[in-house]
Each structure stands twice: as C-alpha cells, then as structure tokens.
Chain A
Amino acid sequence: MTAVPRSHDHPDAALRAEALESLLLERGLVDPKVVDGLIRRYEDDVGPMNGARVIAKAWTDPDYRRRLLEDGTAAIAELGYSGPQGEHIDVLENSEKVHNVVVCTLCSCYPWPVLGLPPSWYKDPAYRARVVREPRRLLAEMGLTLDDDVEIRVWDSSSEVRYLVLPERPEGTAHLSEEALAALVTRDAMVGVGRVTAP
C-alpha cells in the first residue's frame, strides 16, 4: 500500500496535530520520544487494572478499606498509583441503599492513575447531561437497573477532586483471592455505571 496513513475521518485535525508537533520539535519544546513514552504509558500501563487492585484490596483488608475511604489519594498511593489527575481522589462507597455514579459535566475530568483515560461515552455530551438529569433511566439504558429504593448519588468531578466508586463485593466470592477479585472489577463499576458480578 502506498496510501498516506492519515486519519480517514478527520484529515484536518490530523494535519494540525502533526503541524503543531513539528513546530514544537523545531523550537525544542517537546521531545518526540517523551511524547511517545507518555502515550505508551496511558495506552499500556495506566488503566482500570490499577483501580481494580485498589478495590480488591479494600474488599479483603478492612484496615485498607478504612484508610481508602478516609483519604483516597494516600491509600491509592500506597499501591504505587499517583500522577496527573490523581492529586485528590475521593472514594465513594456503594451499599445496598446507596449507589454512587461519577461524571464531569464541564470537561471530562477522570482519575487517570486508577482508571486510565476516559472512554468515549464518559466524554459524550449525552452522558454528561443525562446522568445529572435522569440518572436512573440512563443507568438502566447502560445495563444497570437499580431498585427504586436505592438512592443514586451523582458526583460531578471538579478541577480539584476526582472520584472512584468502591462497588459492592458480589455474593459468592468469599473463597476468591485478592488477585482473582481484582480480575472481576470493571472500569464501569468503578465509575458507577455497572456492578461487579461473581464469575
């Protein structure tokens, strides 16, 4: 193939990004290797598996759970997860009667160190508007039906605070190791648009 590998749907944006990078490179302001490394880090190393380990530890270690709920940022840093967009993470505990769900209505803030970069739907105007206006109906559309007596709390991320939902540990998982539990925890459950189910 000899076709130029550009973004098919958006050639102008791709060209402008390339133009900007070439200008920044010429002026010595960015190093392409640093850019490559940052991209690789967020594509491969930082993602929901980090948050899943935090949740599994909280499910199996009551002291850790208490520390996590008291000071999310510090307890998350205990496991080695910190960095941009993780300077202040509050952890929200789900229960039989309270379900927490997270949004950023202004600009798609997201706790990168524990969840990686946000998925498309989190950034979508429809999600950002409707989770505030009609969370129960939206969650049901996303596959999470909650009983009417469950209170839904919607948390709007601010420029200072990011949120991580601590989902309920599913029934029938008492025999599972922390590692096996971590494999059950989904990104959606940690944003509050899903629940964790037993294998």
Chain B
Amino acid sequence: LSELPVELAITGPAAPPRSNGEMVFEAPWESRLFGMTLALVEADRFVWGEFQQRLIAAVGRWEAEHPDGEGYHYYDRWAEALDSLLDDLGIVAVETTDARARALADRPAGHDHHHGPEASPAAHDGD
C-alpha cells in the first residue's frame, strides 16, 4: 500500500466512531449495489472471491492514482468492480448500464410518483 500522508478525519463520514451507532450505508444506492451483488452470488452467477479480486484491483487502481487518499468512496470502487465482473462474464455490458443510466437521467421530474389518472400533483404534496 502506498504511503498516505492524510490525517484521519475527525468529523464527517470517515471519522472514527466512538460507538456502534452509525449507518451501515451512506446512501440508498450503496445498499442496492450491495444487495444486488450478494443476490448474484446467491444465484450462483459468480462466487464472492471473483468479486473480491475485482474489488481489490479497483481499490488498488484508485489508490495508485490518488496518493493523498482524498475523496475515496468505497462503494464507487464496489460499483467499478461489479461493472467489470458483469461485463467480463457477459451478464451486463458496461455500455448497456451507462445507456440505461442516461435514459433514467432524462426522465421528467416526478416520474416515480405513481399518480392515478385523476390525481393532481397537488394531492401528493405531502409525500
């Protein structure tokens, strides 16, 4: 591992905790990614060790490119590892996921509010 002259954060998401109370995931997408990966392992699409080797490689690449360690996000590396494994196994190509993500980004605001035909947006103000 490279020499990292960074100080451990005192506050914020990477701060050393004094108790067991913090959240396991910092954002919902992290939990979805985690759950998908485990579900794929349970479904025998790949074994955990294969994913882990990808994760080690992704973390190592990032650290080689960011010697100060600033801006590290574990689940970004997790996403990169899963992408590369699914791509190589022919399960989902990275470009396919990118294209789907772009399509999702182009959705109109409020797309995930399932209004009935008569419902007006104002009726859902308290969501």
- Residue numbers of A with Cβ under 8 A of B are 1-5, 7, 9-24, 27, 29-31, 34-36, 38-39, 42-43, 47-48, 84-85, 105-109, 116-117, 119-121, 123-130, 132-133, 138, 141-143, 159, 186-188, 193-194
| B: contact size bracket | 35 or more
Chain B nearest Cβ from A15, distance in angstroms: 4
Picked from A7, A38, A108, A129, the residue with its CB within 8 Å of the CB of B28 is A7
Inter-chain contact A126/B127, CB cutoff 8 Å: no
- The CA-CA distance from A43 to B69 in the complex, in Å, is 27
Cα distance A39–B24 in the bound complex, in angstroms: 10
9 A–B pairs (Cβ distance < 8 Å), ordered by A: A16-B29, A17-B79, A18-B32, A19-B98, A38-B34, A38-B39, A84-B41, A119-B17, A125-B4
Near A by CB (< 8 A), chain B positions 58-80 give 59-60, 63, 69, 72-76, 79
Given contacts A1-B127, A29-B45, 17 further A-B contacts (CB under 8 A): A2-B125, A16-B29, A17-B29, A17-B33, A19-B100, A23-B100, A35-B35, A39-B25, A39-B32, A42-B34, A107-B55, A116-B24, A127-B8, A129-B2, A130-B8, A142-B8, A142-B16
A116 vs chain B, min Cβ distance (A): 7
Asked if A16 and B127 make an inter-chain contact with CB atoms under 8 angstroms apart, the answer reads: no
Judge whether A43 and B25 touch: CB under 8 Å. Answer: yes
Do most interface residues of chain A lie in helix, strand or loop, or is the interface mixed?
helix
Contact A20 B8 (CB under 8 A): no
Return A11 CB to nearest CB of chain B, in Å: 8
CB-nearest residue of chain A relative to B53?
A159
Check if B28 sits within 8 Å of A24, measured CB to CB. Answer: no
Interface residues of B in 35-55 (CB under 8 A from A): 35-36, 38-43, 45, 48-49, 52-53, 55
Count of CB-CB pairs between chains A and B under 8 Å: 199
B-side contacts of A18, CB under 8 Å: 29, 32, 101, 104
Known: A13-B29, A132-B1. A121 touches B101 (CB 8 A): no
Please state if A12 and B49 are interface contacts (CB–CB under 8 Å): no
In the A-B complex, list the 8 residue pairs whose CB atoms are closest, starting with the nearest. A125-B69, A19-B100, A35-B35, A17-B29, A14-B29, A19-B101, A7-B27, A129-B4
Pick the contact of A14: B28, B100, B121 (CB < 8 A): B28
B24 to A4, Cβ gap below 8 A?
no
Beta-carbon contacts of B1-16 to A below 8 Å, as 1s and 0s?
1111011110001111
Partner of B14, one of A23, A126, A141: A126
B35 CB to nearest A CB, Å: 4
